[in-house]
């Protein structure tokens, strides 16, 4: 029987008058360890202390042995079946970090490690049930949740069955779904049927229906999150929904940049398969603000970006890697190598790049802190555009003069603006970037760099070493404008292809909500 169902059933056995009484002492057997143990429940952990043998009067060292089940590693507590009889086996669903591979290295990904305790005292079923409920309430409070029946507001899970070489469904069914159940988190699963399905679903569903969910979970790569956010962005009430419907990501695609960036901010190990860690983080999550960006194109189209805006060489590599999707994350390295080894020189792209340094924008924002451009009226046809503070209304308007903008017109190999630290699990592209630091990191490499130097940069991107390369330029900005001066050129927004045309981008600080652990290293 599911742990959540068992807990709900046993809680019905507790008399109302018993809820205020803490059964003391709580004794039993800690499975896998010898002797009788006493359980103490506090705000941070379940603490087990081994009791000395009744016949012994000595206080030997082993008799004082203790074991701590920290709530930092625990997603839930429940009873497991006991041969069809009323269970006395209390189970803490724990996911501990593996030890670091070497001194000074981050700890490894999380792995499941159950704590099983057979309750002997109290002996009566209501008392046993009360112990289980008290443990569950303590775990819930440690995560900032109100204790109570699980699954009041389910998660809406959008899963792309074609993602991850077709492994997304199995990944969710075998890894994430059981963990969410252990945490008492109900969910509704929707498998996307075609490109744009998520956009249509979130654009056309009634607001009341969307707000009946506690959050939106994406089981795919970054493309499905981009679809979902732009579905919300196409609604007149998008501001309210973006601020009230948090999103989480379970990595099941090729790059998994957003999931990797959120996990990195939490200090997690990013091995090739950190799905268990990501699911654990989702179960422990609370909504936390993150930055998004509004992209406006010369054609009048607009997009909501949560990851990157990419022009030139790396956009070309991203698009060409689609044919190697069966290789998973390795497809990017292969496409880059093929592009670099191609005969002839690398194509250069003539463009005008203008950006507003973040420090300048922050100073201006401080001067006008009491002035807001926001119009939260649901009748506003372009609610996201109403949040702009530094860009003109359209690309046909000039940038503000004497406002601190920096402009240069050169031949570029690539221009890439990132809202997150990672562009893939193994691509630590913007090391200083935090998910809510109010900055978009505009990077570029100008023409004239040799293929050897480009290769060196690419080989060092895993640990952020490319950031120190002389040819790699970066500016922390609040807004930028990119005007291609050549015909054509590859453009990607959050990894999805877009027309090559002039565009302007402004960061919208802390507009979105991400489901991340309460102790994540995001600024407050």
Summarize the confidence of residues 144-172 as an average pLDDT. Answer: 82
Kindly state the tokens that stand for 520: 């994540």
Assess whether 32 and 89 both reside in one domain.
yes
Domain annotation covers residue 313:
yes
Domain annotation covers residue 58:
no
pLDDT reading at 150 higher than 80: no
pLDDT reading at 103 higher than 80: no
Residue 125: per-residue pLDDT: 85
Please tell me whether residue 174 adopts helix, strand or coil conformation.
helix
Measure the CA–CA gap between 488 and 502, rounded to whole angstroms: 11
Residue 2: band (very low, low, confident or very high) from pLDDT cuts 50, 70, 90? very low
Query: What are the pLDDT digits (tens) for 175-190?
Result: 999 999 999 899 999 9
Last-in-domain residue among 252, 284, 316 = 284
Assess whether 316 and 444 both reside in one domain.
yes
pLDDT reading at 251 higher than 60: yes
Structural contact between residues 439 and 507, judged by C-beta atoms closer than 8 angstroms:
yes
Q: Which of the two residues, 280 and 321, has the higher pLDDT score?
A: 280
Assess whether 322 and 441 both reside in one domain.
yes
Question: Does an H or E element contain 502, and which?
Answer: none
Give the CATH number, domain containing residue 47: 2.30.29.30
Query: What are the pLDDT digits (tens) for 429-446?
Result: 999 999 999 999 999 999
Summarize the confidence of residues 444-456 as an average pLDDT. Answer: 93
Residue 157: per-residue pLDDT: 97
pLDDT reading at 372 higher than 70: no
Assess whether 423 and 341 both reside in one domain.
yes
Assess whether 121 and 189 both reside in one domain.
no
Residue 9: per-residue pLDDT: 42
pLDDT reading at 374 higher than 70: no
Assess whether 277 and 202 both reside in one domain.
yes
Peptide bond into 122 cis (omega under 30): yes
Residue 97: per-residue pLDDT: 87
Domain annotation covers residue 57:
no
pLDDT reading at 510 higher than 80: yes
Last-in-domain residue among 284, 309, 326 = 284
Q: Which of the two residues, 255 and 513, has the higher pLDDT score?
A: 513
Residue 471: partners with Cβ closer than 8 Å, 6 or more residues away: 445, 446, 449, 453, 457
Measure the CA–CA gap between 47 and 66, rounded to whole angstroms: 7
The lowest-confidence range among 106-110, 171-175, 294-298, 456-460 is: 106-110
Q: How many domains does the chain have?
A: 3
Residue 23: band (very low, low, confident or very high) from pLDDT cuts 50, 70, 90? low
Assess whether 130 and 207 both reside in one domain.
no
The lowest-confidence range among 11-15, 19-23, 236-240 is: 11-15
Assess whether 279 and 344 both reside in one domain.
no
Q: What is the mean pLDDT of the chain?
A: 86
The lowest-confidence range among 58-72, 391-405, 414-428 is: 58-72
Structural contact between residues 308 and 416, judged by C-beta atoms closer than 8 angstroms:
yes
pLDDT reading at 45 higher than 50: yes
**In percent, how much of the chain has pLDDT > 70?**
85
Residue 124: per-residue pLDDT: 86
Assess whether 112 and 170 both reside in one domain.
no
Residue 42: band (very low, low, confident or very high) from pLDDT cuts 50, 70, 90? very high
Residue 142: per-residue pLDDT: 87
Domain annotation covers residue 149:
no
Residue 88: per-residue pLDDT: 85
Q: Tell me which residue range forms the domain holding 276.
A: 155-284
Q: Looking at 73, 169, 222, 291, which residue is catalytic? A: 222
pLDDT reading at 247 higher than 90: yes
Assess whether 319 and 180 both reside in one domain.
no
pLDDT reading at 449 higher than 80: yes
Domain annotation covers residue 13:
no
Domain annotation covers residue 373:
no
Last-in-domain residue among 230, 253, 284 = 284
Give the CATH number, domain containing residue 195: 3.40.50.10330
Q: Is 204 a catalytic residue?
A: no
Domain annotation covers residue 202:
yes
Give the CATH number, domain containing residue 360: 2.60.200.40
Q: Which of the two residues, 77 and 123, has the higher pLDDT score?
A: 77
Assess whether 437 and 316 both reside in one domain.
yes
The lowest-confidence range among 150-154, 272-276, 310-314, 417-421 is: 150-154
Domain annotation covers residue 317:
yes
Nearest of 95, 91, 83, 86 to residue 118 by alpha carbon:
91
Structural contact between residues 378 and 404, judged by C-beta atoms closer than 8 angstroms:
no
Residue 520: per-residue pLDDT: 45
Q: Give the CA diameter of the chain.
A: 89
Please tell me whether residue 505 adopts helix, strand or coil conformation.
strand
Residue 14: per-residue pLDDT: 37
Nearest of 123, 39, 128, 144 to residue 80 by alpha carbon:
128
Assess whether 312 and 272 both reside in one domain.
no
How many residues make up the chain in this entry? Answer: 524
């Amino acid at each position: 029987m599911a742990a959540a169902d068992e807990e709900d059933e046993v809680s019905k056995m507790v008399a109302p008058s018993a809820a205020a009484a803490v059964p003391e002492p709580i004794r039993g057997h800690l499975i896998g360890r010898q002797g009788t143990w006493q359980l103490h429940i506090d705000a941070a952990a379940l603490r087990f202390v081994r009791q000395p043998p009744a016949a012994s009067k000595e206080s030997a060292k082993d008799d004082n042995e203790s074991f701590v089940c920290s709530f930092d590693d625990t997603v839930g507590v429940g009873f497991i079946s006991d041969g069809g009889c009323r269970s006395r086996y209390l189970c803490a669903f724990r996911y501990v970090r593996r030890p670091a591979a070497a001194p000074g290295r981050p700890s490894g990904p999380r792995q499941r490690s159950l704590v099983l305790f057979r309750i002997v005292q109290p002996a009566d079923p209501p008392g046993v049930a009360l112990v289980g409920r008290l443990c569950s309430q303590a775990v819930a409070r440690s995560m900032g949740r109100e204790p109570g029946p699980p699954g009041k507001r389910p998660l809406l899970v959008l899963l792309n069955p074609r993602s991850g070489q077709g492994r997304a469904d199995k990944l969710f069914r075998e890894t994430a779904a059981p963990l969410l159940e252990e945490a008492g988190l109900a969910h509704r699963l929707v498998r996307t049927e075609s490109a744009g399905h998520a956009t249509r679903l979130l654009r056309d569903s009634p607001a009341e229906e969307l707000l009946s969910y506690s959050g939106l979970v994406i089981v795919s790569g970054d493309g499905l999150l981009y679809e979902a956010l732009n579905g919300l962005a196409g609604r007149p009430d998008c501001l309210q929904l973006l601020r009230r419907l948090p999103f989480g990501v379970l990595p099941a695609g090729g790059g998994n940049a957003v999931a990797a960036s959120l996990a990195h901010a939490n200090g997690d190990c990013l091995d090739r398969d950190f799905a268990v860690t990501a699911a654990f983080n989702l179960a422990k999550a609370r909504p936390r603000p993150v930055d998004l960006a509004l992209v406006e194109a010369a054609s009048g189209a607009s997009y909501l970006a949560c990851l990157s805006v990419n022009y030139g060489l790396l956009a070309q590599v991203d698009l060409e890697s689609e044919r190697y999707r069966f290789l998973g994350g390795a497809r990017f390295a292969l496409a880059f190598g093929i592009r670099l080894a191609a005969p002839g020189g690398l194509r250069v792209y003539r463009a005008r790049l203008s950006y507003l340094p973040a420090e300048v924008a922050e100073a201006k924002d401080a001067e006008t802190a009491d002035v807001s451009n926001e119009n939260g009226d649901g009748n506003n046809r372009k609610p996201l555009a109403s949040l702009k503070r530094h860009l003109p209304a359209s690309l046909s308007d000039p940038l503000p003069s004497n406002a601190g903008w920096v402009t240069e017109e050169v031949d570029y190999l690539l221009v890439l603006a990132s809202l997150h630290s990672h562009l893939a699990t193994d691509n630590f592209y913007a090391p200083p970037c935090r998910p809510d630091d109010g900055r978009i990191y505009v990077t570029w490499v100008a023409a004239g760099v040799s293929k050897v130097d480009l290769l060196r940069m690419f080989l060092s991107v895993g640990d952020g070493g490319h950031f120190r390369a002389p040819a790699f330029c970066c500016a922390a900005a609040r807004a930028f404008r990119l005007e291609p001066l050549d015909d054509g050129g590859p453009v990607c927004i959050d990894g999805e292809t877009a027309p090559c045309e002039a565009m302007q981008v402004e960061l919208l600080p802390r507009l979105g909500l991400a489901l991340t652990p309460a102790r994540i290293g995001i600024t407050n």
